[in-house]
């Protein structure tokens, strides 16, 4: 029987826009799904939005719209985000959908009929941001929620209770007999000691607001948002053709919500009559992405800290590419650990590992195919192999197995590290065999063997990367003359055997697959992602192709179009600054005297701008070239210049002495100006 794999993400609250933390869990789920499909399994990936509860109701009131209109809007933002990140869920469930509402009521009745619900009065300390009760000892000084650092509220109301206390022993038995139920181990230990400390019955209905699923047969109450939300994983498949996927193998959560998933959720399911084999296999808890040392978050108060750049995943993917972002998220942070998220870090990883290691391998080898083998992959006959190739194959085979094992244990960072190691191994082999020297011999046999081996390893690496960089992997395969990765049930496509790239395959060389970040492109990218004071990203590792080894002209142009440097987006500007801080920014009216393109820097313009200074006009380098096909149009234009910005060195003698203000969208860019003319140098306040 085909093995099946069901993975879920938390359903996200719709009280704010999606941010990089949500993207993280969803990218992991998507990559796991792609990996399992590639291995021939039937895989299903569920995500969605959590739309009920007091927190959402309050946000809707603040926004002056009905809760339904509010959740429709934000849920759409989540749904539309995923394709932009290459994330392809098989289902997207909303807790306001009838299938879910009816499902939750059905499971409520089951739990009630099992005798596990009773009515009483609850008095407790409630954090609306968590939608959860807190005990006094958990609180931070000042009666603040330890997660949200906001005051908790005292609630006293009539409520339905769930007999959680009854499940203390069954839960402890579950953790003991199935240690894989909560991973990693550190989280399991925390959960076990929490449950060992004793479980109070849980309040599972609310009567002081109405935005929720009505309690069956008790219309004055709505079902507690966590009872409602947790059942989404079941209501999405229950009673449908997809029911065969139940139970989920992997339920991904961050550590803030592990208790709900590892304690309440299995208790609800046990109460509803689910035996062990029908409980989820593993609740897998990952760490937090941090920005400026704090959890990236949409909760006001946490975003107010100064962050080194935007945390909006769409803006990042637009500028740097979805696959580059996905690679970084999975490669950078050990899965299960917290990790600092940084935009310069994304560029550094992409440069060193994707560009200079994987892309480089392909673009070093392909030109030899064109020049010496009529554009076809050369043959490598067994009798022509030396120890170098035999050792290489053994090493790659070992890595392929290890990478698979790392994926199977959700050690994605390790899987990617080893995948890159495969490409590095091939680069070393290339250096050692020096094909540019072999090409000097009349007999091309040895050259063919080397090039065939390097290209086969590009294939192996592309396939192993494809759960994470699906579009880029397909581009690599395309240039090798191969079809995109296309999973088929019961066919394991993990590159376990050597030789998937057959001799005589016609290659299709093209543009560099991974970006090459020259300093100007990189500076423009950082600026457009609001990175102002970023530390320099790790610079290029040693040169990747000597002129000697270059058999033919190879393209080396940047392939990512950076958004033009513009003023920071309003979105992140929620922290206020004192007037004195604003006054430090010296904004001046300028007049453009000349504007010219810069050879081989197709995004940049070199402007000479008059600010009425005795020292003469300033040179300003601006990433606006794409918006001005007729560059002369700029001459004579009145612009707004940040005049006291430290000079910025773009390399090759290009130094910018100021920045122009502009507004931009993906479609257009306009420079800030005034409807009337003012003398050059006039202060803008």
Q: Which of 52, 134, 148, 606 is catalytic?
A: 148
Clarify whether 255 is annotated catalytic: no
**What DSSP line would sit under 533-576, residue for residue?**
SPPPPPP-PSPS--TTT--S-------S-PPPP-SPPGGGTTS-
Clarify whether 127 is annotated catalytic: yes
Residue 624 binds ligand ME8 (CB under 6 A): no
Question: Is the backbone of residue 324 left (phi > 0), alpha (psi -120 to 50) or beta?
Answer: alpha
- Return the number of the residue (11 or 480) whose C-beta is nearest ligand ME8: 11
Site for ligand ME8 in 181-210 (CB under 6 A): none
What is the maximum alpha-carbon separation in the chain? Answer: 91
CB 638 within 8 A of CB 607: no
464-476 in b/e form (b: 16+ CB < 10 A) is: bbbbbbbebbbbb
Q: Which of 36, 55, 130, 221 is catalytic?
A: 130
Beta strands in 99-168 (DSSP E): 117-127, 132-134, 153-162
Element (H, E) at 219: strand 218-223
- How far is the C-alpha of 422 from the C-alpha of 348, rounded, in Å? 19
Q: Which residues, at least 6 apart from 586, have a Cβ–Cβ distance to it below 8 Å?
A: 642, 643, 644, 683
Of 233, 298, 279, which is closest to residue 91 (Cα–Cα)?
233
CB of 254 to ligand ME8, least distance (A): 3
Q: What's the distance, CA 557 to chain centroid?
A: 26
CB 680 within 8 A of CB 612: yes
Residue 596 binds ligand ME8 (CB under 6 A): no
Q: Which of 145, 221, 603, 657 is catalytic?
A: 145
Clarify whether 298 is annotated catalytic: yes
**Structural tokens at position 337:** 């650990």
- Return the number of the residue (289 or 640) whose C-beta is nearest ligand ME8: 289
Residue from 25, 282, 473, 656 touching ligand ME8 (CB under 6 A): that is 25
Residue 363 binds ligand ME8 (CB under 6 A): no
The binding track of 398-437 with respect to ligand ME8, each residue x by CB under 6 A or -, is: ----------------------------------------
Residue nearest to ligand ME8 (CB): 21
Residue 351 binds ligand ME8 (CB under 6 A): no
Clarify whether 295 is annotated catalytic: yes
CB of 624 to ligand ME8, least distance (A): 34
**Stretch near ligand ME8 under the rule CB under 6 A, chosen from 22-30, 371-379, 481-489, 567-575:** 22-30
- Return the number of the residue (53 or 519) whose C-beta is nearest ligand ME8: 53
The binding track of 226-245 with respect to ligand ME8, each residue x by CB under 6 A or -, is: ---xx-x-------------
Residue from 5, 24, 133, 514 touching ligand ME8 (CB under 6 A): that is 24
- Return the number of the residue (152 or 230) whose C-beta is nearest ligand ME8: 230
**Stretch near ligand ME8 under the rule CB under 6 A, chosen from 19-27, 29-37, 271-279, 315-323:** 19-27
Clarify whether 306 is annotated catalytic: no
CB of 448 to ligand ME8, least distance (A): 48
Q: Which residues, at least 6 apart from 157, have a Cβ–Cβ distance to it below 8 Å?
A: 121, 122, 206, 207, 208
Of 445, 446, 422, which is closest to residue 434 (Cα–Cα)?
446
- Return the number of the residue (105 or 232) whose C-beta is nearest ligand ME8: 232
Rg from Cα positions in the chain:
29
- How many Cα atoms sit within 13 Å of 316 on the Cβ side? 29
Q: How do beta strands 587-598 and 638-642 pair?
A: antiparallel
Site for ligand ME8 in 240-299 (CB under 6 A): 253-254, 256-257, 288-289, 295-297
Residue 325 binds ligand ME8 (CB under 6 A): no
Clarify whether 148 is annotated catalytic: yes
- Return the number of the residue (27 or 399) whose C-beta is nearest ligand ME8: 27
Clarify whether 145 is annotated catalytic: yes
Number of residues that bind ligand ME8 (CB under 6 A): 21
Residue 13 binds ligand ME8 (CB under 6 A): yes
CB of 369 to ligand ME8, least distance (A): 43
- How far is the C-alpha of 98 from the C-alpha of 215, rounded, in Å? 15
Q: Which residues, at least 6 apart from 521, have a Cβ–Cβ distance to it below 8 Å?
A: 515, 558, 560, 562, 601, 603
Clarify whether 453 is annotated catalytic: no
- Residue recorded with tokens 């397909």: 474
Q: Which residues, at least 6 apart from 116, have a Cβ–Cβ distance to it below 8 Å?
A: 162, 163, 166, 271
Residue 329 binds ligand ME8 (CB under 6 A): no
Residue 662 binds ligand ME8 (CB under 6 A): no
Report the catalytic residues: 19, 22, 127, 130, 145, 148, 295, 298
Binding positions for ligand ME8, rule: CB under 6 A: 10-13, 21-22, 24-25, 50, 229-230, 232, 253-254, 256-257, 288-289, 295-297
């Amino acid at each position: 029987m085909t093995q099946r794999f069901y993975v879920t993400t938390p359903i996200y609250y719709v009280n704010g826009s999606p941010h990089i933390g949500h993207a993280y869990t969803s990218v992991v789920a998507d990559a796991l799904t792609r990996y399992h499909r590639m291995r021939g399994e039937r895989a299903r990936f569920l995500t969605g939005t959590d739309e009920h509860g007091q927190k959402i109701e309050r946000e809707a009131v603040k926004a002056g719209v009905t809760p339904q209109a509010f959740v429709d809007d934000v849920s759409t933002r989540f749904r539309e985000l995923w394709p932009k990140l290459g994330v392809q869920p098989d289902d997207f469930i909303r807790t306001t959908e009838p299938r879910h509402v009816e499902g939750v009521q059905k499971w409520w009745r089951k739990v009630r009929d099992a005798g596990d619900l009773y009515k009483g009065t609850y008095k407790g300390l409630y954090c609306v941001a968590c939608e959860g009760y807190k005990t006094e000892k958990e609180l931070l000084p000042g009666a603040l929620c330890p997660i949200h650092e906001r005051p908790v509220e005292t609630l006293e109301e009539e409520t339905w209770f769930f007999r959680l206390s009854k499940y203390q022993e069954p839960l402890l038995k579950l953790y003991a007999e199935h240690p894989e139920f909560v991973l990693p181990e550190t989280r399991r230990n925390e959960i076990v000691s929490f449950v060992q400390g004793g479980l109070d019955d849980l309040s599972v209905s609310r009567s002081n607001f109405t935005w929720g699923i009505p309690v069956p047969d008790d219309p004055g109450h709505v079902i507690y948002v966590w009872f409602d939300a947790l059942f989404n994983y079941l209501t999405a498949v229950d009673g449908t053709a997809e029911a065969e996927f139940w139970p989920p193998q992997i339920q991904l959560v961050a550590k803030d919500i592990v208790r709900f998933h590892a304690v309440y959720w299995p208790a609800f399911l046990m109460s509803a009559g689910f035996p062990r084999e029908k409980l989820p296999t593993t609740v897998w808890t990952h760490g937090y992405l941090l920005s400026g040392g704090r959890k990236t978050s949409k909760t006001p108060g946490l975003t107010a800290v100064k962050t080194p750049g935007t945390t909006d995943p769409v803006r990042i993917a637009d500028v740097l590419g979805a696959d580059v972002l996905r690679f970084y998220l999975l490669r950078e942070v050990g899965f299960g650990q917290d990790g600092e998220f940084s935009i310069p870090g994304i560029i550094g990883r992409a440069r060193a590992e994707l560009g200079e290691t994987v892309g480089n391998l392909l673009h070093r080898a392909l030109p030899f195919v064109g020049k010496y083998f009529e554009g076809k992959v050369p043959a490598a006959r067994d009798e022509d192999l030396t120890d170098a190739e035999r050792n290489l194959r053994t090493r790659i085979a070992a890595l392929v197995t290890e990478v698979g094992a790392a994926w199977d244990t959700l050690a994605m960072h390790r899987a990617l590290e080893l995948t890159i190691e495969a490409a590095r191994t091939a680069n070393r082999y290339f250096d050692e065999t020096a094909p540019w020297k072999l090409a000097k011999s009349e007999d091309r046999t040895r050259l063919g063997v080397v090039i065939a081996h390097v290209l086969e390893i590009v294939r192996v690496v592309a396939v192993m990367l494809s759960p994470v960089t699906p579009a880029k992997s397909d581009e690599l395969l395309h240039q090798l003359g191969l079809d995109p990765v296309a999973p088929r049930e019961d066919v394991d496509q993990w590159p376990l055997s050597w030789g998937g790239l057959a001799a005589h395959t016609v290659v299709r060389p093209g543009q560099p697959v991974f970006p090459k970040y020259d300093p100007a492109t990189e500076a423009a990218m950082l600026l457009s992602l609001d990175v102002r004071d970023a530390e320099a990203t790790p610079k290029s590792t040693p040169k990747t192709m000597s002129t000697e080894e270059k058999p033919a002209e190879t393209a080396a142009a940047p392939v990512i179009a950076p958004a033009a440097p513009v003023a920071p987006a309003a979105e992140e500007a929620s922290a206020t600054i004192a007037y004195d801080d604003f006054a430090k920014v010296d904004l001046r009216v300028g007049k453009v005297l000349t504007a010219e393109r810069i050879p081989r820097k197709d995004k940049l313009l070199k402007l000479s701008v008059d600010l009425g200074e005795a020292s003469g006009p300033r040179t300003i380098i601006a990433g606006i070239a794409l918006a001005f096909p007729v560059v002369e149009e700029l001459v004579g234009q009145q612009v707004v210049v940040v005049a006291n910005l430290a000079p910025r060195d773009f390399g090759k003698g290009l130094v910018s002495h100021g920045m122009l203000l502009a507004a931009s969208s993906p479609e257009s860019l306009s420079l800030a100006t005034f409807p009337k003319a003012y003398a050059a140098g006039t202060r803008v306040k």
